[in-house]
Amino acid sequence: MIRRLSAAHSVLLIVDMQASLMPVIDQGDLRIAAAKRLADAAKLLNIPVLATEHLADKLGHTVEPLLSDLQAVCNKTHFDGTKEDHFEAFMPPGRSQVVVCGAEAHVCVMQTALGVLQSGREVWMASDACGSRHDEDRVLGLGRLANAGAELVSSEMVMFEWLVHADHPKFRDVLAVIKSKDG
C-alpha cells in the first residue's frame, strides 16, 4: 500500500534536540536547521509541533530556535518516550501520522519511533533532521526504523507532501521556508 502524508493527519515530533546534546551531534547545526524548517512549515499549515525532552534538568531544554515553536513538551526518563505514562495524552487525537526528527537517531529517536509504530500510528523519519554523535549510528538507527516500517524522507519531501499542490493557499509561505535552506 502506498502511503502519503496529509497535513490534516500529521503531527511533528521533535525528539530530544536539547541544549547540552546538540553541540556534540554530527552536523548538529544542519539537523537543527532542517527541524526548524519543518516546524515553521507545520505551524503555517496548522500541524501540531511537539517535543520530548530527556532528563531536561541535566540535558537542558529544547534548543532555540525550536523551543518557541512547540505546542507541548513531554518530559521523559525512558529512552522510548512512548513508555511515559503521559505520552498518549500528550499526542493530539486524530493525528495518525507522526513526522519524527531529533537526536540521537539510534537511541531516543529510534526507540520512540518504534514505540509510535507499535501504537498503530505511521512514522515518517525526516532523516536530514535526525542526528547522532557518529554518523554510522545515525545510518544504522534510520535503517532499523525503515526495516520496522517507518518511511525515510527528507524535510523537503514532507513539506511538499503536506502542501499537495501549488494552489494551496500557504504554498508561497511554505516555499519560502523551503528556499531558506539555500541561502
Write the pLDDT tens digit of every residue in 143-160: 999 999 999 999 999 999
Note the pLDDT tens digit of each residue in 81-134.
Answer: 999 999 999 999 999 999 999 999 999 999 999 999 999 999 999 999 999 999
Q: What is the 3-state secondary structure (H, E, C) of the chain?
A: CCCCCCHHHEEEEEECCECCCHHHCCCHHHHHHHHHHHHHHHHHCCCCEEEEEECHHHHCCECCCCHHHCCEEEEECCCCHHHCCCHHHHCCCCCCEEEEEEECHHHHHHHHHHHHHHCCCEEEEEEEEEECCCHHHHHHHHHHHHHHCCEEECHHHHHHHHHCCCCCCCHHHHHHHHHHHHC
Residue 1 lies in a domain: no
Answer whether residue 19 is part of any domain. Answer: yes
40 vs 70, 131, 174, CA distance in Å?
Answer: 10, 19, 8
**Grid coordinates belonging to 59:** 540535558
In a domain, 71, yes or no: yes
Per-residue pLDDT band at 181 (split at 50, 70, 90): confident
CB-count burial class (<10 Å; 0-12, 13-18, 19+) for 171: middle
Residue with cell 509504530: 117
Please check whether residue 53 lies inside any domain of the structure. Answer: yes
Q: Convert the pLDDT of each residue in 6-54 to its tens digit.
A: 999 999 999 999 999 999 999 999 999 999 999 999 999 999 999 999 9
Does any domain span residue 2? no
Q: Is 30 exposed, middle or buried (0-12, 13-18, 19+ CB in 10 A)?
A: middle
Domain of 97: which CATH number? 3.40.50.850
Q: 116, 75, 73: which is closest to 97 by C-alpha? A: 116
**pLDDT score, position 183:** 58
| The pLDDT value given to residue 84 | 98
Average pLDDT, the chain: 97
This prediction has a pTM of: 0.97
Mean pLDDT confidence for 154-169: 97
Range of 19's domain? 7-182
- Report d(CA 124, CA 132) in Å as an integer: 18
How many domains are contained in the chain?
Answer: 1
In this prediction, residue 141 carries a pLDDT of 98
Cell numbers describing residue 25: 551531534
Which residue type is seen at 176? A
What is the per-residue pLDDT for 1?
73
CA gap 89, 57 in Å, rounded:
22
Angle at alpha carbon of residue 87, lines to 28 and 6, rounded to 5°: 70
Check residue 2 and give its pLDDT.
82
Asked, for residue 160, whether it belongs to a domain, the answer is: yes
